[in-house]
Chain A
Amino acid sequence: MSLKEAIKSNKFIVTAEIAPPKGVDIEKLLEDAEILREMVDAVNVTDNQRAVMRLSSMSFCAKLAEKGFDPILQMTCRDKNALALQSDILGAYVLGIRNILALSGDYPNRGDQGGVKPVFDLDSVQLVDLIKKMDGGKDLRGNKLTGKPSFTIGAVVNPGSMPLEPQLIKLRKKIDAGADFIQTQVVYDVDVFKAFLREAKVPPRVKVIVGIFPLRSYKMAAFVNEQIPGVSVPDRVLKRIKSAKDPVQEGLNISVDIIEELKPICAGIHLMTLNNLQEIPDIIKRSGLI
């Protein structure tokens, strides 16, 4: 089932994340992706995530689409101006890509190409608006397109941001601009997510898909807790991972528990496993999602 159909049918949505390789060897990753078949509704492909240079999201999405997956093209505003973004939006469509996730993008100083020029010609709200506009057959300046694309449009939000109100105002703008689904920053504290949901009042047509990132070690948990803005790992989770004999396994257990809690209150989950794709079927099965 495609993401579009999953959204329409109101089924619980499962998406997974793949980061393209830093290089041109894609065969192994494409093979690994096979394990996701029939397991997830769509696969996000990151766009130079954390500003670390990798193979383009578009190329890997196209490869996934060729193999019958439903890729979600992550598109940031960091690296391209509106001219390039528009031609990529059209290009994505003819390559068989049907979903785009609009993001601002991490600042280059956080990645491995420190001195490059950041673009940010558009912001993420304007990008959602642009994709919607192109779906309607017009470009940014209102010029007519020959044949129009049709995308399922995604946007992101960080439910743990403090203060939350300005984030919610921005989220509302993304929804009004035409976002069909929202993928959230990772959540470890379900209470934080519940509070977000109460405040956000997301209309039912827009699906909120919650980010799940299994922790792999206590060190990673501490890093996430301290270094990722607006993500808090509760003490009880930190304790579990710290005292675990097999922290990777415990990280998966924690994810399954969080998903159990989230299932009744969100539209889906988005699994980010740092390309350890073999863990995804396990999480899905144990969470009773299949």
Chain B
Amino acid sequence: MIITEQKKLEKILEHLEGSKSVFIIGCGRCSTSCETGGEKQVKEMSGKLEAKGKKVLGSVVIEAPCDDRLVKRDTKGHMAEIRKADSLLVMSCGVGVQTVAEILDKSAYPALESLFLGRTKRLGKFYEMCMMCGECVLDETEGICPIARCSKHLLNGPCGGSHDGKCEVDPKYDCAWHLIFERLKARGKTDKLRKFRGPKDYSRVIRPRKIESR
């Protein structure tokens, strides 16, 4: 899931400077799960903007604003307000904002910051797990990613800043290599750590990446 957080209202109002009327778009998937852009947050945002003197012409929570087909489907019944609004405020990740801006051909501003690709432990507890490097190493690290979960993306073991299982960057972080080591040890597989791993192939992440298989 894409983990997002809401921008500060002042920031959102900065984006909307010059827009008297606004149409708000929420996200029925990730941002709903993150409680940053679901039905409830869209409604709250509408109230906050009205209180600051903006005219909110309407809102819709698109099932997935990152999907062209669902943007088209879910905005169909709202096109009159959307056309009338000076701008759109999109409460989704950056993919949603861009998709909506293009399909609806309208200035669309982000209400959220897109943070990371994460795992949900429970509501409000999200953890980065994958950086989409295009070259998965989880087979060698017993299911714990050293690319996403080690600040230095190290491939050959912990740095000297790892101590008592914590990371030097911030002791509130667990050292990924410590977790990997402990798990390998518990499963009798520490020999896997002894293998030299060469540099990652960053030609796998020449941006922007795309797949056009059909």
Q: Which residues of B contact A263 (CB under 8 A)?
A: none
Binary interface encoding of chain B residues 141-154 relative to chain A, with 1 for a CB under 8 A from any of its CBs, else 0: 00000000001111
Query: How many residues in B have their beta carbons less than 8 Å from beta carbons of A?
Result: 31
Besides A166-B177, A167-B160, A169-B193, 8 other A-B contacts (C-beta < 8 A): A77-B152, A104-B159, A107-B151, A120-B152, A123-B159, A156-B160, A167-B162, A170-B157
Contact B155 A123 (CB under 8 A): yes
Nearest first, the 7 A-B pairs at minimum CB distance are: A170-B157, A229-B163, A158-B160, A125-B156, A166-B181, A104-B159, A123-B154
- A125–B196 touching, CB < 8 Å: yes
Tell me, rounded to whole Å, the shortest Cβ–Cβ distance linking A40 to chain B: 23
Whether A163 contacts B181 by the Cβ 8 Å rule is yes
A107 close to B156 (CB less than 8 A): no
Interface contact A126-B157, CB-CB below 8 Å: no
Within 8 A of B (CB), among A60-111: 77-78, 82, 104-107, 109-110
- Give the chain B neighbours of A177 by CB distance below 8 A: 196
Q: Which residues of B contact A (CB under 8 A)?
A: 151-164, 166, 168-170, 177-178, 181, 185, 190, 193-194, 196-200, 202
Instruction: Determine how close the nearest CB of chain A comes to the CB of B66; give it in whole angstroms.
Output: 26
The 30 listed contacts between A and B (C-beta, < 8 Å) are A104-B159, A107-B169, A122-B199, A123-B152, A123-B154, A124-B156, A124-B159, A125-B155, A125-B196, A126-B155, A126-B199, A161-B162, A163-B181, A166-B162, A167-B157, A167-B158, A167-B160, A167-B162, A169-B157, A169-B194, A170-B157, A172-B194, A173-B156, A173-B194, A173-B196, A176-B196, A177-B196, A229-B162, A229-B163, A229-B168
> Are B160 and A157 closer than 8 Å at their CB atoms?
yes
**Pair B156/A126 contact, Cβ less than 8 Å:** yes
Q: CA A11 – CA B161 in complex, angstroms? A: 31
Contacts across chains A and B counted by CB atoms under 8 Å: 97
Interface size for chain A: under 10, 10 to 19, 20 to 34, or 35 or more residues?
35 or more
Contacts of B177 in A (CB 8 A): 166
Say if the beta carbon of A230 comes within 8 Å of chain B.
yes
Query: A38 near B: Cβ within 8 Å?
Result: no
- Are B157 and A106 closer than 8 Å at their CB atoms? no
**A166–B166 Cα gap in the complex (Å)?**
13
